[in-house]
């Protein structure tokens, strides 16, 4: 097995395309664990952390561009990003421990495609897109479209995610992410709920996106849940309707981390709690 640290996108693409068992490496916190367990045996590891666009976050077109290989903890240092998208930053900074977060990245979290990935429901709720680099050049794709199933993406041979794009923020908008875990840290989400919403000056919800993790083969947007909030001031009846929509969208499994019944019940609980936080942030936002 060989290790490569390309310094240009073209070089990275060429290396990735050169063999079927080449794997991109970002933070490595999933890759190394899977190599160690024998689940994957790459013939070549292409470390993208050396690519300039792959690390760091910056404003662009009113929104943000985040290098896919930016460590989660670095996101905490971007004050503008934390102010505009606290839910996304919090979601990324729930992954693992401090040690893990100093290496893990949202690009890697996304492309590892665990149904329970923490950053993904927040990214989907934020309507994030990703820039995919590959033999055919660069293309921009909604984050949700990258996910094909547990552990599988729609990336083609030689492709990798280079950047994550967050759109321009509407005024009076806020996002939040919460997850259910058995302990207080270090667990994989049993259920994850990402919510992003905007309201008008009177607190009436004008737009809302609710996304769930760990309750289906991929993280998913629940359009009916967002729709249930629009035009309301998040009264009990609206939140109930949102909760029912969220539960109806769940297709969870029983596994060593949670049961079907518990996941369905908690999807509504955590979506409600995340909605409350997002709403408060939206009302306090400029």
Partner 1 sequence: MTRQDPIGKQELKVVGTRPVRPDGADKVTGKAVYGADFYLPGMLRGAILRSPHAHARILSIDTRKAEALPGVKAVATNADFPRVEMAEIDAGEAGINVDRAAQMCLARDKVVYEGQPVVAVAATSPEIAAAALDLIEVQYEVLPHVIEIDDALRADAPLLHDDLMPAEAPSNVGARLEAKSGDPDAALAQADVVAGGRYTTQAVHQGYIEPQACIASVSADGQAQIWCSSQGAFMVRSVAAAITGMNLADLRVTPLEIGGGFGGKTTVYLEPVALILSRKSGRPVKMVLSRDEVFRSTGPGPGAIIEVRIGATRDGILTGAIVDLKYQVGAFPGAGCGAGVMHALGAYRIANKRVTGCDVVSNMPSSHAYRAPSAPQAEFAVECAIDDIARQLGMDPIALREKNAVKPGDASFSGAPLGPIAFLETLAAAKVHPHYSAPLAPEHGRGIAAGWWVNHGGESTAMVSINEDGSAVVATGNPDIGGSRASMAMMAAEVLAVPMEKVRPIVADTASIGFSMLTGGSRTTFATGKAVVEAAQDVVEQLKSRAAMIWGVDAAQVAWVDGEARCLEGDEEPLAIKDIAARMGKTGGPISAEKSVHPHDAMPTYAVHICDVELDRETGHIRVAHYTAVQDVGRAIHPSYVEGQAQGGAVQGIGWALNEAYAFNKAGGVDNPGFLDYRMPVASDLPMIDTVLVEVPHPNHPFGVKGVGEVPIVPPLAAVANAVSAAAGKRFLDLPLTPARVHAVLNSAG
Partner 2 sequence: MSKQHIHATVNGDPVDFLCEPTTSLLNALRDELRLTGSKEGCGSGDCGACSVMLDGKLVCSCLVLAPEIEGRRVETVEGLAQDGQLHPLQQKFLDYGALQCGFCTPGVLVAAKALLDRTVEPTEEEARYWLAGNLCRCTGYDKIIRAVLDTAAELRQERVSA
User: Taking CB under 8 A as the rule, does residue 60 contact partner 2?
Assistant: no
x-marked contacts with partner 1 along 198-237 as a string, rule CB under 8 A: ----------------------------------------
Q: Quick one: tokens of 111?
A: 């492309």
Beta strands in the chain (DSSP E): 2-4, 22-25, 44-47, 57-60, 63-67, 129-134, 137-142, 147-149, 152-153, 160-166, 173-180, 191-199, 205-213, 220-221
Among partner 2, partner 1, none, partner that 99 touches (CB below 5 to 8 angstroms by kind):
partner 2
Distances (CA, A) of 227 to 55, 189, 246: 35, 25, 11
- Compute the least distance from the CB of residue 108 to partner 2, in Å: 11
Could you tell me which residues come within 8 angstroms of residue 173 by beta carbon, excluding any fewer than 6 positions away? 196, 197, 198, 199, 207, 281, 282, 285
User: Taking CB under 8 A as the rule, does residue 5 contact partner 2?
Assistant: yes
Q: Which is nearer to partner 1, 156 or 182 (CB)?
A: 182
Q: Which is nearer to partner 2, 185 or 202 (CB)?
A: 185
Cα 72 to Cα 95: distance, rounded to the nearest angstrom: 8
Cα 14 to Cα 157: distance, rounded to the nearest angstrom: 10
Binding partner 2 (rule: CB under 8 A), the pick from 61, 79, 185, 202 is 185
Among partner 1, partner 2, none, partner that 131 touches (CB below 5 to 8 angstroms by kind):
none
- Compute the least distance from the CB of residue 269 to partner 1, in Å: 5
Q: Are 221 and 210 in contact (CB under 8 A)?
A: yes
DSSP-based three-state secondary structure for 283 = helix
Among partner 1, partner 2, none, partner that 188 touches (CB below 5 to 8 angstroms by kind):
partner 1
Cα 224 to Cα 221: distance, rounded to the nearest angstrom: 9
Burial grade of 5 (CB within 10 A; 0-12, 13-18, 19 or more): middle
In the window 65-104, what residues touch partner 2 (CB under 8 A)? 71, 73, 96-100, 102-103
Cα 97 to Cα 196: distance, rounded to the nearest angstrom: 25
- Compute the least distance from the CB of residue 5 to partner 2, in Å: 8
- Compute the least distance from the CB of residue 177 to partner 2, in Å: 17
CA–CA–CA angle 228, 231, 234 (5° rounding): 65
User: Taking CB under 8 A as the rule, does residue 187 contact partner 1?
Assistant: yes
Among partner 1, partner 2, none, partner that 256 touches (CB below 5 to 8 angstroms by kind):
partner 1
Positions that interact with partner 1 (CB under 8 A): 37, 180, 182-188, 190, 256-259, 261-262, 265-266, 269
Positions that interact with partner 2 (CB under 8 A): 1-3, 5, 25, 27-29, 32-33, 35-37, 45, 47, 49, 71, 73, 96-100, 102-103, 184-186
């Amino acid at each position: 097995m060989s290790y490569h640290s390309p310094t240009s996108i073209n070089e990275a693409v060429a290396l990735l395309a050169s063999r079927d068992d080449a794997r991109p490496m970002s933070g490595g916190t999933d890759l190394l664990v899977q190599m160690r367990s024998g689940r994957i045996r790459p013939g070549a590891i292409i470390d993208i952390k050396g690519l300039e666009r792959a690390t760091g976050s910056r404003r662009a077109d009113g929104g943000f561009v985040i290098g896919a290989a930016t460590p989660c903890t670095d996101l905490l240092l971007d004050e503008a990003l934390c102010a505009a998208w606290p839910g996304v930053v919090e979601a990324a900074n729930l992954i693992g421990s401090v040690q893990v977060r100093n290496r893990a990245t949202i690009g890697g979290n996304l492309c590892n495609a665990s149904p329970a990935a923490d950053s993904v429901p927040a990214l989907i709720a934020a309507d994030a897109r990703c820039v995919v680099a590959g033999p055919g050049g660069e293309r921009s794709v909604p984050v949700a479209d990258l996910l094909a199933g547990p552990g599988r993406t729609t990336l083609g041979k030689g492709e990798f995610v280079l950047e994550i794009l967050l759109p321009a923020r509407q005024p009076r908008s806020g996002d939040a992410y919460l997850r259910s875990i058995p302990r207080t840290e270090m667990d994989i989400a049993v259920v994850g709920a990402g919510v992003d919403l905007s309201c008008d000056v009177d607190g009436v919800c004008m737009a809302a996106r609710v996304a769930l993790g760990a309750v289906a083969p991929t993280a998913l947007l629940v359009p009916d849940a967002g729709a249930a909030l629009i035009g309301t001031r998040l009264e009990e009846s609206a939140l109930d309707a949102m909760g029912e929509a969220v539960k109806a969208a769940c297709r969870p499994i029983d596994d060593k981390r949670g049961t079907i019944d518990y996941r369905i019940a908690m999807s509504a609980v955590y979506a409600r709690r995340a909605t409350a936080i997002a709403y408060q942030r939206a009302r306090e936002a400029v």
